[in-house]
Structure formats: structure tokens, C-alpha cells
């Protein structure tokens, strides 16, 4: 409906949907004021229900816009209801990640693919009478039979390049209908028609979470613990969904978070040798803070390992669910602590940068003081968070030591040793920053919190080592 038809803001990482709505509103206001282009808000940014659906706003498209814009019901959210012949109108909003996904069939018949699409997509298909005529209501609107899946749009087509028909799907909210549910439903509908699904294809990018959900779904069906590393979960999803059926699927290229991270130099992407070399250089970062976080990550990894060595073993069948839950939580903590290792290095570098700020004028001095104050706070908050995570890992290590595989009891003990080392090491980084904090309340609270965590983790450590020694 315009030169810029639609501009969605999508939360991917470290941002909420509410943040995206605010950005959409700010941009909408600016576009209307600076370019005199009428702006409509849609999806999560919509101010009324009927404007949530992009198709409703687009109806009539550019050709019908001149008349539509004068209708009080379709007054733009930003800008005057005046037709801009050159630019048309723009729709700006915030929405969930849209996954473009095709399921491959062992047929060339696009009509059969379309039948399947109509049965699974949310809009379904038109209702027909006994004579095959489309049924309409008293207002002349087509009566529809809803499809099986919410937040799913679909159509069937034939792709000459692949030599097969596909059910082509737009998954508008994978939180409502996950990827694997779409795949399984298409497979069910295909069977009814005597067809088979050979695999699927992802068009564009996908959030990591969607693949993790799919991988866990298939791991559970296979009776395998879901507390395995992410790469194994994603590998299971790729294989189970047949994502390499017609084109090779490379998670590093197709998962949006990996594409973003690929663009930055991350500490966790170093090899062990590279990390050790960097750590031993004359550069102060990475330093003790990153090492503390990595020690915690290793503790979490060991805890998950003991849980996975317990799950599936007949002798420990009564504790499979608990072991799997411990492994899953430990895997999450492992990832969080690896991220904190990177964040600690960034925080130190930010602090050093603030010390190097100009201080020639009073204004520059004030900005420098504020920057140092905020950077010091952050450099204190990160090791405090590492301490909290280490405490949680110690709790998990204690739980798995009680119920876990006896052959791995020493690993549970090492997990406890590493959790304690992580917590104590992070504590040193808190202590060194507290005297530099200008915010007295923040400094006092940080000190109290630090002491409390140390007492609690040391108490748990004594319990854990007692159990480990006894079982050894």
C-alpha cells in the first residue's frame, strides 16, 4: 500500500516485545512528521483490534487508499488523513518472528498439497453444500471451516527445481503453534491422502528457541534425556524435520542468533588454547572474572553430565524425571555463565574506556564521573550474578549427588568443587570493586548479598562433599 509497505520490529535477543512497540510508535510518529506519510500501527503495536491484522489494513491496497484514508474508521495512527500520491501509506508495528517453512511431499500434485494446506492453516477452507457450492452467510460473506492450527497460513504448490509439491507455510507465531507441531500435522494429513512427507525446508532465518523446542519434542519421543547440549538438540531437530532434504541446512547460517553472534568477537568462541594464550598475555582482560564464570560453566556442564548418565539407566528409573530436570537446568546455567564470561570482559573494557574519557571541561569531567560510576556498578553486578548462578549449580550438584549414577559420583564432587571455586573467585571481583563504588547503598547491598551467598554455598558444599565421600 506504499513505497515502504510494512516495517515490523521483531524481538530477537535482549529486547522485549514492549520495547519493539515503543520503537514502532517512535518511528511511526517520525515518519508521519518528517515525510508526511500516513502511518498505521499493526500487530502488537495496534491501538484497536481490527488493525492487528496486516491484511485488514492493506485491504484495497494503494489503489483504494485515497478513498479509504478519508473514512474516519481508517484514520491513520500517525499523520493526517491525506493521500500521499508519491509514497502511499506505511504500516509499522511489532510482531513475533515469522517463520517461512515448507514441508516436502512425495508427489508432484500441487492440488493435493493445497488440500493439506487448507486443513492445517488457521483460515481453513470455504464450507460447501451437498452440491459443492460455497456457502455464504446472510451478509454474503463466505462461511469457512477453520483449520487445525492457529497462527498458521498455508498454500500448496509445485516446485520444479525440487521435483516435488510442498505445503508452503507462514508460521506467524511459533509460541502458539510450534514448528514441530506443523510438521507432524502435515504428516498426518498427508497420510490420509496416501502421501508421505520426505522432509522440510526453511526459507530465511529461524530463532534458536523454535529449533530447541522441536529437538526436545523428538528427543522425548525417542526416550532420550532432554538435558543434552544445545548442539545435540538442534541436530535432532534438523534430522527429525528433514531440514536438509532439498537444500543443506547449516544452523550457523540459518539460526538468527548465531548469525548475529558471528559478527562479533566472542570469548566463548575461542579454543581452549586460544583462551589460555589470551589469558596469559599482558592484557588485563579477560581476567579473573571471566575465569570465575567459566569455572561455573564447567561445574554446570559436569552436573548435566551426571544427570544424563543417570537418565535411561534401569537401576535409577525412579529418578529419571528428576535427573532430566537437573540436566536441563544445568545446561541453561552453563550457557548463561558462558555469556557472563564474555560480559565480564566487556564490562572491564568499558570501565577502562570510561577512565580514558576527556576531563578538560567541567562538563567532560561530569560525564566521565557518571560513566565511571555506571561502569563500576556493572563490573560489580556481573560477578554478583556469577555468584548467584554458582549457588544454584551447587544446589543442583547436591541433588544429583543424592540420586545420581554411583559411577559418576566423583564427577558430582568435582562439579561442587568448581561451583565453590567459581563463587569464591567471583566474590574477589566484587570485593575489589566495592571500595570504588560511589553509590553507598548499592555498595552496602552488594556486600551483604555477597556474604550471604558465600555462607549458603559453603554450607551446601559441606553437605555435598560429605555425600560424595560416603558414596566413594
Q: What is the CATH number of the domain that holds 388?
A: 1.20.120.680
Assess if residue 225 is contained within a domain: no
The C-alpha atoms of residue 343 and residue 345 are separated, in whole angstroms, by 5
CA 394 to chain centre: 26
Nearest-angstrom CA–CA distance, 172 and 170: 6
Does residue 128 form part of some domain? yes
Question: 94, 121, 136: which is the final residue of a domain?
Answer: 94
Element (H, E) at 380: helix 362-403
> Which pTM was predicted?
0.81
Residue-wise pLDDT for 284-324, tens only, equals 878 999 999 999 999 999 999 999 999 999 999 999 999 99
Residue 237 lies in a domain: no
> What is the rounded CA–CA span in Å between residue 79 and residue 33?
7
Domain encompassing residue 284: 263-471
Q: Report the CATH number that the domain containing residue 171 is assigned in CATH.
A: 3.30.70.670
- Give residue-wise pLDDT tens across range 243-272: 999 999 999 999 998 888 765 557 888 889
Q: What Å distances lie between residue 206 and 99, 103, 185, CA to CA? A: 6, 15, 20
Are residues 301 and 177 both part of a single domain? no
Residue 226 maps to a domain: no
The answer to whether residue 155 is domain-embedded is yes
Which of these three, 50, 69, 94, is where a domain ends? 94
pLDDT of residue 290: 94
**391 Cβ contact partners less than 8 Å away, ≥ 6 residues apart:** 419, 423, 453, 456, 457, 460
Q: What is the largest CA-CA distance in the chain?
A: 87
- Number of structural domains in the chain: 3
Q: What is the pLDDT of residue 14?
A: 81
431 and 341, same domain (yes or no)? yes
Q: 440 pLDDT exceeds 80?
A: yes
| Domain end (from 36, 70, 94) | 94
Assigned C-alpha cell, 320: 529419571
Convert the pLDDT of each residue in 21-39 to its tens digit.
999 999 999 999 999 999 9
pLDDT at 181 over 70: yes
Does 126 reside within a domain?
A: yes
pLDDT at residue 38, as a whole number:
97
Whether 235 maps to a domain, the answer reads no
Q: How far apart are CA 302 and CA 411, in angstroms?
A: 6
Whether 434 and 382 map to the same domain: the answer is yes
Shared domain for 191 and 310, answered yes or no, is: no
User: How confident is the model at residue 408, as a pLDDT?
Assistant: 97
* Same domain (yes/no): 275, 379: yes
Q: Please report whether residue 13 resides in a domain.
A: yes
Residues in a beta bridge with 103: 167, 200
Q: How far apart are CA 318 and CA 402, in angstroms?
A: 13
Domain match, 312 and 381 both: yes
Specify the length of the chain in residues: 472
For residue 265, what pLDDT is reported? 59
The reply to whether 279 and 195 lie within a common domain is no
Q: What is the pLDDT of residues 114-144, one digit of tens each?
A: 999 999 999 999 988 888 888 888 888 888 8
User: What is the rounded CA–CA span in Å between residue 29 and residue 45?
Assistant: 13
Q: Is residue 368 a contact partner of residue 357, using CB atoms and an 8 Å limit?
A: yes
Amino acid at each position: 500500500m506504499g513505497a515502504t509497505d510494512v516495517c515490523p520490529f521483531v524481538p530477537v535477543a535482549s529486547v522485549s516485545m514492549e520495547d519493539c512497540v515503543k520503537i514502532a510508535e517512535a518511528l511511526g510518529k517520525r515518519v508521519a512528521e518528517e515525510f508526511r506519510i500516513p502511518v498505521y500501527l499493526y500487530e502488537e503495536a495496534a491501538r484497536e483490534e481490527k488493525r492487528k491484522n496486516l491484511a485488514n489494513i492493506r485491504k484495497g491496497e494503494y489503489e483504494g487508499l485515497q478513498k479509504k484514508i478519508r473514512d474516519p474508521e481508517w484514520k491513520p495512527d500517525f499523520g493526517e488523513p491525506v493521500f500521499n500520491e508519491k509514497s502511499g501509506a506505511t504500516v509499522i508495528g511489532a510482531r513475533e518472528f515469522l517463520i517461512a517453512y515448507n514441508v516436502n511431499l512425495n508427489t508432484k500434485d500441487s492440488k493435493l498439497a493445497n488440500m493439506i494446506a487448507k486443513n492445517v492453516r488457521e483460515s481453513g477452507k470455504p464450507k460447501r453444500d451437498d452440491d459443492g457450492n460455497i456457502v455464504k452467510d446472510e451478509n454474503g460473506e463466505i462461511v469457512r471451516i477453520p483449520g487445525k492450527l492457529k497462527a498458521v497460513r498455508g498454500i500448496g504448490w509445485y516446485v520444479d527445481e525440487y521435483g516435488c509439491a510442498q505445503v508452503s507455510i507462514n508460521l506467524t507465531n511459533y509460541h502458539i503453534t510450534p514448528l514441530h507441531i506443523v510438521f507432524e500435522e502435515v504428516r498426518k494429513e498427508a497420510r490420509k491422502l496416501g502421501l508421505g512427507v520426505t522432509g522440510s525446508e526453511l526459507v530465511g532465518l529461524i530463532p534458536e528457541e523454535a529449533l530447541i523446542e522441536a529437538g526436545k519434542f523428538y528427543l522425548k519421543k525417542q526416550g532420550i534425556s532432554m538435558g543434552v547440549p544445545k548442539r545435540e538438540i538442534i541436530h535432532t531437530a534438523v534430522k527429525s524435520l528433514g531440514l536438509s532434504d532439498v537444500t543443506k541446512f547449516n544452523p550457523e547460517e540459518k539460526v538468527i542468533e548465531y548469525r548475529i553472534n558471528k559478527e562479533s568477537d566472542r570469548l566463548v568462541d575461542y579454543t581452549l588454547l586460544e583462551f589460555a594464550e589470551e589469558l596469559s598475555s599482558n592484557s588485563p582482560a579477560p581476567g579473573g572474572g571471566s575465569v570465575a564464570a567459566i569455572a561455573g560453566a564447567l561445574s554446570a556442564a559436569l552436573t548435566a553430565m551426571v544427570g544424563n548418565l543417570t537418565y535411561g539407566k534401569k537401576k535409577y528409573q525412579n529418578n529419571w524425571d528428576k535427573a532430566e530436570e537437573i540436566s536441563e537446568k544445568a545446561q541453561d546455567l552453563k550457557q548463561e555463565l558462558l555469556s557472563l564470561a564474555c560480559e565480564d570482559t566487556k564490562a572491564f573494557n568499558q570501565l577502562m574506556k570510561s577512565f580514558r574519557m576527556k576531563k578538560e571541561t567541567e562538563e567532560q569531567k561530569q560525564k566521565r564521573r557518571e560513566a565511571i560510576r555506571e561502569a563500576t556498578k556493572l563490573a560489580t553486578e556481573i560477578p554478583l550474578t556469577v555468584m548467584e548462578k554458582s549457588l544454584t549449580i551447587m544446589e543442583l550438584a547436591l541433588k544429583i549427588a543424592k540420586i545420581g549414577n554411583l559411577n559418576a559420583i566423583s564427577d558430582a564432587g568435582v562439579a561442587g568443587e568448581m561451583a565453590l571455586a567459581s563463587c569464591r573467585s567471583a566474590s574477589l571481583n566484587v570485593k575489589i570493586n566495592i571500595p570504588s563504588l560511589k553509590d553507598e547503598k548499592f555498595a552496602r547491598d552488594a556486600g551483604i548479598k555477597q556474604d550471604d551467598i558465600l555462607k549458603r554455598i559453603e554450607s551446601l558444599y559441606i553437605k555435598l562433599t560429605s555425600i560424595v565421600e560416603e558414596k566413594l
